[in-house]
Structure 1
């Protein structure tokens, strides 16, 4: 089937008008967008059959196990993106969340068996050591969604998580105002994910800087468990004077359930991450007030491109997707 402007626009995440401007060499398009559109058009065969050199490229995706909806979406997009290239042999490895020993062991097992690895990594000494050892063998590695510093990697593909936490704090402060003293709570998956730790730091910093009357009354680790989030939220709502909840990771459905059941739950400002079917419905029924979204399709596209380019001998810059705040009034159509 012939590749159309609409196909390219959908894959690149831009409008058909933007694709048309790029393909016809017209001005008014940022260079980064122009590069993405041209890469997608070439890969989809718009300019003719795509030639693949050498043997198949082997890529391993290492993601947390479980029912985290965002991670389920990311899995799908990673394989969609790998399949769109041709000549890529992709495999998925699921590691129990917050288990650095198993993650490090999986990395060690991949030595000599693959060309590249994209992983959502825990920030732990044995994981860092395993990444560096694997990279020393020539395998290209990129971190995804949550970064690790001081390791030998090609780059990081994911949002600026500290900025995301600051954005959540700004929203909370603007929703609740600067006048009265209010209590807020943080729900966190685990600080073993550097991204979660950075979101907490960002949230704390802007509250201290710009909204000193907003207090953090509790920080609740839920290990990305929906039922644990529900029980913790029920307990918190029954025992504390609370005006706001910021959920750093997954578990939004558990918190939302507790808020719906609680007297006065609708008066709590609830801010979380990642637009899914569940958070979309919670925005619509006003259980949630705002969702800070990252685009898993874009992240999958960029990390696969980063790894494939490196294996083929070229270089792509690491990519930080934009943050987007979704309210009830601007929910996009999937």
Structure 2
């Protein structure tokens, strides 16, 4: 499918298109979705699940099965529901595909977790027959680029899942997108007061508390310094992790003093330089908590300085790299949020929203502590 000119013109952006099963030509997809082609405007008066069920004379569960291409519905009933949907102006019949376009706006760079998340989004989209996914990634943590991408998606998509900075510029662009009729879901890191349909991710404050708790229990009665390596505190999730970490150390382990170098902006090379400096300045450093994507640099510095076995290291997200660090004894624990579950839930919740459902789940993803002894088979 051709990338809209408004997207391809954006600097440093990568746009990926992942249609579901049985992809149809570009025009049919846009016609089925009611999205804007040149000279056309987006439909925002989407039929609700209850309205379709009432007019079709079937249950909401039956309508849900039809819209999600699930089994258990007779063919004549399925056709009747699709006919009602078409008569109401909804997607699902127009071009016969029943697919909705949704877009993901994700950070770029060397973040292994984000790369894994993007792969899981691709796989989930490929396994479904009702969604067409576009992924947009950026190399820099810049509110202007995120806002420009969101603004460019007005009229081009039915829903957007976003890992975005909690900044005024991004918040306003999210509000404009929602006002245009596009449903927005926040992913991994929430954004405050924007009217999103759901948040898919862990409780980041609880994750920060867990990191502090683990360090305190690994080092019972210890007194000394603990390093806090911040990724990018413009992400609300990172800010919440820091809050939780600081709070539990102050509450439960007051003899541990936090030292915090400047945030590394999700750059492993910056993390490497900062941790090398910390280990030189504080030879008795007890532990390191890395909030974001700097784990690779932290591990490299610890190994080079000969401190891999003497400093407790806690980080986030089970990837190929962190799995290896656990097995080598460089990392002591990984706080994981399960990229596969997040990809699945984000697509499912966003599709429910664009179809007019009102009971969108709001539960957070379960946090898992992973050690060398309980690494799951799937990374």
Calculate the TM-score normalised by the size of structure 2: 0.74
Distance 1:312 1:247 in 2: 39
Corresponding residue for residue 199 of structure 1: 241
| Among candidates 142, 146, 153, match of residue 99 of structure 1 | 142
Which position in structure 1 is the counterpart of 2:106? 63
1:278 counterpart = 2:278: no
Which residue of the other structure, out of 207, 229, 247, is the alignment partner of 2:271? 229
Q: Judging changes above 3 Å, is the alpha-carbon distance between structure 1 residues 141 and 49 closer, same or farther for their aligned structure 2 residues?
A: farther
Quote the residue 2:255 is aligned against. 213
**4+ residue segments displaced more than 3 Å:** 42-52
Shift in Å, 1:56: 2.9
Deviation of the 1:221 alpha carbon: 1.1
For residues 106-165 of structure 1, give each alpha carbon's deviation from its aligned partner in whole angstroms, at most 9, with x where no partner exists.
Answer: 111111111000010101001000000110111000000000110021010000000000
The answer on 1:188 being equivalent to 2:230 is yes
**Structure 1 position 189, deviation (Å):** 1.0
Number of residue pairs matched by the alignment: 294
| Secondary structure, aligned partner of 1:222 | coil
State yes or no: 1:266 paired with 2:309.
yes
| Equivalent position of 1:318 in the other structure | 362
How big is the shift at 1:265?
A: 3.5
Residues 189-220 of structure 1: per-residue CA shift (max 9 Å, x gap) = 11100000000000000000010001002244
1:253 aligns to what SS in structure 2? helix
Unpaired runs of at least 5, structure 2? 1-63, 83-91
1:148 aligns to 2:187 (yes or no): no
More helix by share: 1
Q: Offset of 1:279 from its aligned partner? A: 0.7
1:329 aligns with 2:338: no
Which of 248, 264, 280 is residue 238 of structure 1 equivalent to?
280
Q: Give yes or no for contact 2:161–2:346 (8 Å, CA) kept in 1.
A: yes
**Superposition TM-score, scaled by structure 1 size:** 0.83
- Asked if 2 retains the 8 angstrom alpha-carbon contact of 1:43 and 1:84, the reply is no
> Aligned-pair RMSD on alpha carbons?
2.0
Q: Which consecutive unaligned segments of at least 5 residues does structure 1 have?
A: 1-38
CA distance in 1, matches of 2:315, 2:196: 29
